Amino acid sequence: MKILLPLLALASASLALAQAPVAPASSALRPFGLVIHGGAGVIERRNMSPDLDAQYRATLQQALDAGYAVLDRGGTALDAVVAAVTVMEDSPLFNAGKGAVFNADGICEMDASIMNGATLQAGAVAGLQHVRNPLHLARDVMEKSKHVFLIGEGAEKFAWSLGYERTPNEYFQTDFRRKQLERAKQLESRKDNGTAALPADLASPTTRDERHFIHEQKYGTVGCVALDRQGNLAAGTSTGGMTNKKFGRVGDVPVIGAGTYANNATCAISATGWGEFFIRATVAHDISAQMEYQGKDIRAAAAATLAKVAQLGGDGGVIGLDARGNVMTDFNSEGMYRAYRISDRKTVIAIYGDEPR
């Protein structure tokens, strides 16, 4: 009996072990985390005051912390993306939600999209003028409508049908962005009425001024990619687009496969940059496709895609995460507001081209 009892105890313990779910143990070891951006463009040390630099870093940290907290407690990648982007949409520093750039009529007009890498479901909105957090509505399009992409008044009608509060456009407007619009209009009056095609040779000295003019009209778009403890990826991007935009112009941000893409089999990507070129190069999906069809790693794939964008004459940046938690932050502009945290490793926050990417 003395021998039998410990044997019985051992047998019942191993039975309990065999029946115990294995998921919690393995998911505890899985990498999780997120990468965020606050836009790419002509962001240089010499044009940034120490105070503004500190404000940007503090808000990036706050956004990263909001997303990380969701993942750390076992929440979904989608919830983390929404949590991080909401902080940046609510901050006047970025060109998304409050602080969005003005269109040519002096109105803030916003676009956003989100994608679930586990299901390949996606939601997108464009031309919103009265929805406080455009990314929230993009998510509701994905989860509560049978569509993927809603625009303008129709998208807002959908928001009201869900009980969203109508936010006055003045809420989004800031003096800084108004001055940017005034400057863009002054420069434009010396050029064309905004309908002229871009010069074919964008690299020539005569068009350098043109490039600078266009660069001044954008940046500050925000985005996030996340990997949760269950191994699911998600991506989301939100923007006011380009200053002085006309004729219902929509950039890459709400175009699934251009500004945003997520697929558990490859990666999650959020882009920022000169939207016209990012649409033409189908940037976010192009990175995923190289990983899927050519077996490239996320960094090599992103570098190849940004080279295509540059060849077309555009610039900007991308952030990404793959299902193993490999981080990518890359850009061919002067700088990009960016930050990431993977599992319990140290947070990285960077702005300029000479900082880690």
**What does the block give as tokens for 340?**
């990431």
Chain centroid to CA 320: how far?
9
Residues of span 178-237 touching ligand ASP by CB under 6 A: 218-221
The one-letter amino acid at 212: H
Sole binder of ligand ASP in the list 39, 67, 236, 313 (CB under 6 A): 39
> Would you count residue 272 as binding ligand ASP (CB under 6 A)?
yes
Q: Counting contacts by CB under 6 A, is residue 331 touching ligand ASP? A: no
Mind giving me the DSSP string for 271-304? EEE-HHHHHHTTHHHHHHHHHHHH---HHHHHHH
CB of 219 to ligand ASP, least distance (A): 4
Cβ atoms of 247 and 106 closer than 8 Å: no
Residues 273-292 that bind ligand ASP (CB under 6 A): 273, 275, 278
- Check residue 330 for interaction with ligand ASP (CB under 6 A): no
Phi, psi for 32 (deg, rounded to 5): -145, 160
Q: Pinpoint the alpha helices (H) of 147-220.
A: 152-161, 175-189, 205-215
* Cβ distance to ligand ASP smaller for residue 116 or 239: 239
CB of 313 to ligand ASP, least distance (A): 14
242 binds ligand ASP (CB under 6 A): yes
Give yes or no: 221 in active site: yes
CB neighbours of residue 353 within 10 Å: 15
Name which of residues 86 to 105 contact ligand ASP (CB under 6 A): 95
Report, in Å, the least distance between residue 239 CB and ligand ASP.
Answer: 5
Helices vs. strands in the chain: H and E counts, helices first: 11, 12
Least separation in angstroms between residue 32's CB and ligand ASP is: 26
**Which residues on adjacent β-strands are paired with residue 239?**
111
Catalytic positions, written as ranges: 221
Give the footprint of ligand ASP on this chain (CB under 6 A). Answer: 39, 95, 218-221, 239, 241-242, 251-253, 272-273, 275, 278
